Amino acid sequence: MNKDLNKKNLDFFPSPSGPNKELFTALNKTSNLLCEWFSVSEKLDPLANNIKFKFSSPTEEGKNFENLLKEINDLVYSSFNPSNPGSLAHLDPPPLTVSIIGDLVAGSLNNNLLAKELSPSISILEKEMCEWFALKLGFGNKAGGIAASGGTLNNLNALVSARNISGFQSDPDAAFVVSRDAHVSFKKCARIMGLKRENIIIIDTDDCGRMDPLKLENQIKKHLKIGKRIFAVVATLGTTMRGAIDPISEIKKICNMNNIWLHIDGSIGAIFSMIKKQIKGIGDIHNANSITINPQKVLGITKTSSLLIVKNIKSLQETFQTGLPYLDSNDEFINRGELGIQGSRPAEIIKLWLGIKFLGESGIEKILNESIARRKLLEQNLNSQKFDIYSGPLHIISFIPKTLNKIESESWTHNAKKVLLQNKFMLSRPFYQNKFFLRSVLGNPNTQDSHILSLSKLLNEI
Amino acid sequence: MNKDLNKKNLDFFPSPSGPNKELFTALNKTSNLLCEWFSVSEKLDPLANNIKFKFSSPTEEGKNFENLLKEINDLVYSSFNPSNPGSLAHLDPPPLTVSIIGDLVAGSLNNNLLAKELSPSISILEKEMCEWFALKLGFGNKAGGIAASGGTLNNLNALVSARNISGFQSDPDAAFVVSRDAHVSFKKCARIMGLKRENIIIIDTDDCGRMDPLKLENQIKKHLKIGKRIFAVVATLGTTMRGAIDPISEIKKICNMNNIWLHIDGSIGAIFSMIKKQIKGIGDIHNANSITINPQKVLGITKTSSLLIVKNIKSLQETFQTGLPYLDSNDEFINRGELGIQGSRPAEIIKLWLGIKFLGESGIEKILNESIARRKLLEQNLNSQKFDIYSGPLHIISFIPKTLNKIESESWTHNAKKVLLQNKFMLSRPFYQNKFFLRSVLGNPNTQDSHILSLSKLLNEI
């Protein structure tokens, strides 16, 4: 391809003096392609069967946009299809419409949430959005927070802060506590923080998948006695396997007695605190020192959208602030790159802002309530004679035929997953308590009652 | 607003059975707004003078899209304006056109780079893009990498891996080395990793802002003697203050002698290795164990776009892999959430892929060469009798009148920045070696020679 062709239909950068007609046309063509993909997503499979897309190296002269559009088309139709009503495997929902628009705006602005000098209005937006969430969660007036690119980062932000505020920064005896059903990424956090493997104190769960408070109390006593410096207890609000909620009030009492920071990993479940008729176990979350909340899950704010809300915003500042000697800083505003692990960050908060404003509190509640109702409908229609069913108060359910041992569970789930995919249902196949399960996450707003009835019928017959 | 109004013009989620006309219209209206903003960006100020945007809380019923569009408009026109030709303060360039399109695609797909099951084609794309960069950087065939949401995360990914591979995971004597001019975020990395403050070994720089290899050798000897376990030396390829490049070949020899991991923080400068006529000091980067490269800087891939390339991809796997018990994994493909700190991640790699394919190698080279040429032009036209000038081989330059002491430098830069902003030039005001400076980063492709001549004239006269 020659240079003329390359430059024919689109400039490298938007022109600062207009008219940018070619960019507008390119955005329209891409929007059209994406809207067409959305419009057939029910007909396509949840997982692309036919991977058309193939990576090819960049050439010397570059490709023109029309040719790239064909490659975009192949990439899109070879992707996971979260809008298909049968996409029920994981916690990744279809994107909220205004959230897609937010991505377009954030990319175009290319502002940097590192510092107010680089994102004058959006840094304030992020601060105020976090404060609004803090208010909704019942935190006090010293509370605030930070957005991060994913829940793992926010859990890490919280643990690093807890260790720092407790004064055990480089102490080889520093330790934290999670339940057996907590998210696997806490192992990763420990490695990053330089903690010994044995300093992740793991507490058994009860029959409902919740941390056992009596065992927690005993383990804390035991570990303090041998010289461990416990800087945090992590309670899970919504476990990966079945959406179980740890007993937060009881855990908080134990933390208070021992002067330990309580972090709630609410990546899955904290958003459900927005429902007016409170879900069992979600009360008292305002008593935590910090909480991770991920609107990128059920609400469909596009990835990534995760907030860490802390009781006292100063705990983040004291932990992460290094000074930014290359920036003009205004004393009464904390640069937001100094409140967490990330420095330069995109204006992701725009997506959350647009999403929340568009849905309104009633829209949020509708989405959350409907996802719970879908889980209940599936649970009611699964044959309880046949299946061991693991669920909780949220939108997640896992199950396995009662009679199977480990090896049988592996082959049953493997075969069942295949049969389901042939019928356009994608479920996941987690390994838990020495068996394979099937799991369904019912956050997909396109899943109708009729789909759930077909799914349960299929499952009962496999 | 009543519920009917709210739902009148846009659904919460794209419809899986079409026609999604309202979403297409909403995307068009937003594209139009953004293209209009781009088209007047030369007339606007680099920093919005008039902050119209004001955050208001979400309401019970939610806002309709037309009303939100007005708020988006206020937000956009209150933002930092990187497309203005005078935006020369920081490392944040205008967005590449196809990169904006990439954000739109990534948001719409909402695929999750955590695992191949959730992003079948894009996980492969990320792997192959990293391998293509590894090849361009001269790394061998065991090399590979990971994308992360920002350079700080990738430097942290590298340091955690270096510590892990060295076997000093929880050792209170673990230490790493940086130069005095390295990025401030390494302090933050040390806190996150639980390293003592004194275990960041800081090496003085020479008159050109480069790490002094003799001092490096002496400091390593001294610290090993007192029992420190040095797991990494970080060389900076492009310092924040003046784009200096540490002497990589000499540092590598010292690392080899002591069996220490060499990480290159190439967040600013590594992309310049793509220029065919090699820049002084960039040779030999392929000898490093790991390197951070940020196409979100000069190339204008929208934030965030940062890669970590490692000599041996297994070092990331061994460091971060925890297993993902809730996912179906394919043995011959490493799930990409297991190669770094982040778990769930957006399909950011699409932006880099589109950018590189669209520019081609010649387009990349053009952008990089022109940014260096702009720095040279400014440097030539600054009065060298008046200014102490700090620069290097890249696109960054800092300066201060020769005669000023610390206090005078503070007031001079403060006033100069104000005068420049009145003339639509935004420079930054870093603090370095006990003085305030003015700094110009010349990565903005909209900055013409005429702008640079006006800028230098202004500066020479202030």
| Separation of alpha carbons A192 and A190, rounded Å | 5
Q: Please judge whether B15 and A362 are an interchain contact, meaning their C-beta atoms are less than 8 angstroms apart.
A: no
Which amino acid is present at B341?
Answer: I
Whether residues B240 and B224 fall in one domain: yes
Number of folded domains in chain B? Answer: 3
| Residue B234 belongs to domain with CATH number | 3.40.640.10
Q: What are the C-alpha distances in Å from B454 to residues A304, B202, B419?
A: 42, 39, 13
Structure tokens at B443: 């990565």
The pLDDT tens digits for B298-325 are: 999 999 999 999 999 999 999 999 988 8
Burial class (CB in 10 A: 0-12, 13-18, 19+), A259: exposed
Cβ of B4: how many Cβ atoms within 10 Å?
8
B46 within some domain: yes
Nearest CA in chain A to B59: A360
Torsion of CA B202, B205, B209, B212, to 10 degrees: -110
Nearest CA in chain B to A163: B194
Question: For residues B358 and B334, is the Cβ–Cβ distance under 8 A?
Answer: no
Structure tokens at A188: 């990763």
Structure tokens at A255: 């933390």
Q: Please judge whether A23 and B13 are an interchain contact, meaning their C-beta atoms are less than 8 angstroms apart.
A: no
Whether residues B234 and B122 fall in one domain: yes
ipTM of the prediction: 0.97
Q: Please judge whether A18 and B10 are an interchain contact, meaning their C-beta atoms are less than 8 angstroms apart.
A: no
Last residue of a domain, which of A47, A81, A115?
A81
Q: Please judge whether B58 and A361 are an interchain contact, meaning their C-beta atoms are less than 8 angstroms apart.
A: yes
B92 within some domain: no
Nearest CA in chain B to A59: B360
Report pLDDT for B4: 45
Q: Please judge whether B13 and A124 are an interchain contact, meaning their C-beta atoms are less than 8 angstroms apart.
A: no
Contacts of A53 in chain B (CB under 8 A): 121, 124-125
Structure tokens at B66: 């037309």
B129 within some domain: yes
Question: For residues B411 and B401, is the Cβ–Cβ distance under 8 A?
Answer: no
| Separation of alpha carbons A393 and A445, rounded Å | 18
Which amino acid is present at B334?
Answer: I
B58: three-class secondary structure by DSSP: coil
B8 confidence band (pLDDT: 50, 70, 90): low
Whether residues B37 and B149 fall in one domain: no
Report pLDDT for A1: 35
Q: Please judge whether B121 and A59 are an interchain contact, meaning their C-beta atoms are less than 8 angstroms apart.
A: no
> Closest partner residue to B120 among A31, A42, A79, by Cβ?
A79
B89 within some domain: no
Which of A154, A122, A138 lies closest to A354 in space, CA to CA? A122
Report pLDDT for A4: 45
> Closest partner residue to B153 among A341, A346, A429, by Cβ?
A341
Q: Please judge whether A357 and B62 are an interchain contact, meaning their C-beta atoms are less than 8 angstroms apart.
A: yes
Report pLDDT for A330: 73
Whether residues B135 and B188 fall in one domain: yes
> Closest partner residue to B346 among A117, A151, A303, by Cβ?
A303
- Cα Rg of chain B (Å, integer): 24
B96 within some domain: no
Q: Please judge whether A95 and B14 are an interchain contact, meaning their C-beta atoms are less than 8 angstroms apart.
A: yes
Whether residues A158 and A279 fall in one domain: yes
Report pLDDT for B213: 98
The arithmetic mean of pLDDT across residues B345-361, rounded, is 97
The pLDDT tens digits for B400-426 are: 999 999 999 999 999 999 999 999 999
Whether residues A76 and A107 fall in one domain: no
Whether residues B135 and B195 fall in one domain: yes
Whether residues B222 and B315 fall in one domain: yes
Question: For residues A281 and A208, is the Cβ–Cβ distance under 8 A?
Answer: no
Contacts of B62 in chain A (CB under 8 A): 357-363
Whether residues B123 and B212 fall in one domain: yes
> Closest partner residue to B110 among A82, A174, A328, by Cβ?
A82
Contacts of A71 in chain B (CB under 8 A): 357
Question: For residues A370 and A93, is the Cβ–Cβ distance under 8 A?
Answer: no
| Separation of alpha carbons A15 and B94, rounded Å | 10
A196 within some domain: yes
pLDDT along chain A (462 residues), means of 10: 52 97 98 98 92 93 95 97 98 98 98 96 97 96 97 98 97 97 97 98 98 98 98 98 97 98 98 94 93 98 98 97 85 91 97 98 97 98 98 98 97 98 97 97 98 98 95
CA A448 to chain centre: 24
User: Rounded to 5 degrees, what are φ and ψ at B233?
Assistant: -110, 130
B97 within some domain: no
Whether residues A390 and A453 fall in one domain: yes
The pLDDT tens digits for B16-48 are: 999 999 999 999 999 999 999 999 999 999 998
Last residue of a domain, which of B311, B339, B356?
B356
Q: Please judge whether A105 and B153 are an interchain contact, meaning their C-beta atoms are less than 8 angstroms apart.
A: no
Q: How far is B189 from chain A (nearest CA, A)?
A: 8
B329 confidence band (pLDDT: 50, 70, 90): confident
> Closest partner residue to B108 among A34, A59, A322, by Cβ?
A34
The arithmetic mean of pLDDT across residues B118-131, rounded, is 96
Q: What are the C-alpha distances in Å from B245 to residues A364, B133, B151, B180, B309?
A: 51, 20, 17, 13, 18
Residue B275 scores a pLDDT above 60? yes
- The range of the structural domain enclosing residue A17 comes to 3-81
Report pLDDT for B2: 39
Q: Please judge whether B346 and A53 are an interchain contact, meaning their C-beta atoms are less than 8 angstroms apart.
A: no
Structure tokens at A215: 């065992």
| Residue A390 belongs to domain with CATH number | 3.90.1150.170
Burial A416-443 (b: 16+ CB within 10 A, else e): bbeebbeebbbbbbbbbeebbbbbbbbb
Report pLDDT for B7: 55
How big is the A-B interface in CB pairs under 8 Å?
538
> Closest partner residue to A39 among B18, B51, B150, by Cβ?
B18
> Closest partner residue to A343 among B72, B150, B429, by Cβ?
B150
B95 within some domain: no
Report pLDDT for B9: 74
DSSP class of residue B211?
B
What residues contact A209, with CB distance under 8 A and at least 6 apart?
A: A181, A239, A241, A242, A244, A390, A392
Whether residues A27 and A107 fall in one domain: no
Q: Please judge whether B75 and A350 are an interchain contact, meaning their C-beta atoms are less than 8 angstroms apart.
A: yes
Q: Please judge whether B325 and A430 are an interchain contact, meaning their C-beta atoms are less than 8 angstroms apart.
A: yes
Last residue of a domain, which of B356, B385, B413?
B356
Order of all β-strands in the sheet with B200-203? B144-148, B306-310, B290-293, B261-266, B229-236, B174-179, B200-203
Whether residues B76 and B194 fall in one domain: no
HSE at residue A391, side-chain half, CA atoms within 13 A, is: 25
| Separation of alpha carbons B279 and A168, rounded Å | 45
